Amino acid sequence: TPPSPPPYTTEDRPPLAVAAALPAATAAHVDVQALHRYCEELIETVRAANRYIDEQAPWALKKTDPERMVTVLYVVMEVLRHVAVMYQPVIPTSAGKILDQLGVPEEERTFAALGERSLRLGTPISKPQGVFPRIEAEVQVEL
3-state secondary structure (DSSP) of residue 35: helix
Count of C-beta atoms within a 10 Å radius of residue 23:
16
Residue 1: per-residue pLDDT = 38
pLDDT tens digits for range 45-104:
999 999 999 999 999 999 999 889 989 999 999 999 999 999 999 999 999 999 999 999
Amino acid 128: pLDDT: 81
How high is the pLDDT of residue 4?
Answer: 62
Neighbours of 25 (CB within 10 A): 18
Q: How far is it, in rounded angstroms, from Cα 132 to Cα 53?
A: 19
Distance CA 59, CA 23 (A): 31
Quick one: pLDDT at residue 7? 80
Which of these, 85, 138, 79, lies nearest to 107 by C-alpha position? 85
From residue 75, alpha-carbon distances to 3, 7, 141, 142 in Å are: 15, 10, 43, 47
20-24, 38-42, 122-126: least confidently modelled range: 122-126
Q: What is the pTM for the complete model shown?
A: 0.86
Cα–chain center distance at 68: 18
Of how many residues is the chain composed? 143
pLDDT band, residue 2 (cuts 50/70/90): very low
pLDDT digits (tens, 9 = 90+) for 116-140: 778 887 777 778 888 887 777 777 7
Would you place residue 19 in the very low, low, confident or very high pLDDT band (cuts 50, 70, 90)? very high
